[in-house]
Amino acid sequence: MSELSLRWQVFRCRRRSDTPTRFLLELARQVARAPRSEDPAPLLEIGTRAGGSALLMLRVLESVYPSTARKPLVLTVDPYGMRPYEGAPFIYDDRHYGAMKRALARYANHVHYMMDSALFLDLLDRLYLWRDGRKQPLDRFSLVYLDGSHDAEIVWREIERLLPRVVPGGSLIVDDTDWFDGAVRKRLDTMCPPLVGTPRHNGKQSIIEVPSARATSAPPPAASTAGRASSTRSEHDR
């Protein structure tokens, strides 16, 4: 998919999102690069708000996959309801939920979980999707986009639980890592194991691109440390 086509898709979705254009464009690039297969892994967004970024993901997938091909599911997580908006003096309301439903209703490959990320992560090992007449666990994602809570501990738990599920060649994007004195960004820079990719920063975004072929010769202590971290670490979504 050309850069011009990606920019056009961003332009079409921009008014439904409060995320600036340059960051939506990076998201669109990562969606277009996500690994493809006959049974593609889902994409996951935490923090859906009015649905602008999810709509962008769905439109890019619609463009890069042939019309007859199975497109990956886009899973979104947001509790909605009358909740305080983190870092701002106003409250969420049902207008965001209504806007999301109107924007994404026509996409059969969209699934929404109306819960916050804490509950979603608690249930993650028990959640599944029906595909081809059988249950498929949510154990792999081709892209994870975190734009819900910006509390460092909540975001770090999301990263620890979800990054190990990103397939080779996929990516994890964390939005607004400059909030709260850059706590999440600093932690990523010091603690993200090289085995799962090195963070790069695009303004307020942080992106981890998982290598296409995971290293098989990495020292066992690094791999086991990463595994222990994801199992021992145990909001408000936008």
- Residue 103: partners with Cβ closer than 8 Å, 6 or more residues away: 16, 50, 51, 52, 54, 55
* 212 located within any domain: yes
What's the Rg (C-alpha) of the chain?
Answer: 17
Note the pLDDT of residue 124: 96
Tens-place pLDDT, residues 185-217: 888 888 776 656 678 898 889 999 998 865 444
* 226 located within any domain: yes
Note the pLDDT of residue 86: 66
Higher pLDDT, 133 or 81: 133
Whole-angstrom Cα distance, residue 40 to residue 62?
Answer: 13
Tens-place pLDDT, residues 69-123: 999 999 999 999 877 766 666 677 778 899 999 999 999 999 999 999 999 999 9
Number of domains in the chain: 1
Nearest one of 34, 44, 83 to 161, comparing CA atoms: 44
Whole-angstrom Cα distance, residue 145 to residue 76?
Answer: 9
Reduce the DSSP state of residue 51 to 3 states and report it: coil
* 140 located within any domain: yes
* 238 located within any domain: no
* 173 located within any domain: yes
* 120 located within any domain: yes
Counting every residue written for the chain, the total comes to: 238
Predicted TM-score (pTM) of the model is 0.84
* 237 located within any domain: no
Pairing of strands 74-77, 43-46: parallel
Pairing of strands 43-46, 141-146: parallel
Does the pLDDT value for residue 229 go beyond 60?
no
Q: How many angstroms separate the most distant Cα atoms in the chain?
A: 51
Q: Which residues pair with 45 in a beta bridge?
A: 76, 145
Are the beta carbons of 109 and 126 closer than 8 angstroms?
Answer: no
Q: What is the DSSP letter of 136?
A: E
Tens-place pLDDT, residues 32-77: 999 999 899 999 999 998 999 999 999 999 999 999 999 999 999 9
Nearest one of 157, 50, 139 to 101, comparing CA atoms: 50
Pairing of strands 199-202, 74-77: unpaired
Reduce the DSSP state of residue 110 to 3 states and report it: strand
Q: How far is CA 8 from the centre of its chain?
A: 21
Q: How far is CA 92 from the centre of its chain?
A: 21
* 42 located within any domain: yes
Nearest one of 230, 199, 197 to 215, comparing CA atoms: 197
Give the CATH number for residue 208: 3.40.50.150
Structural domain of 51: 3-232
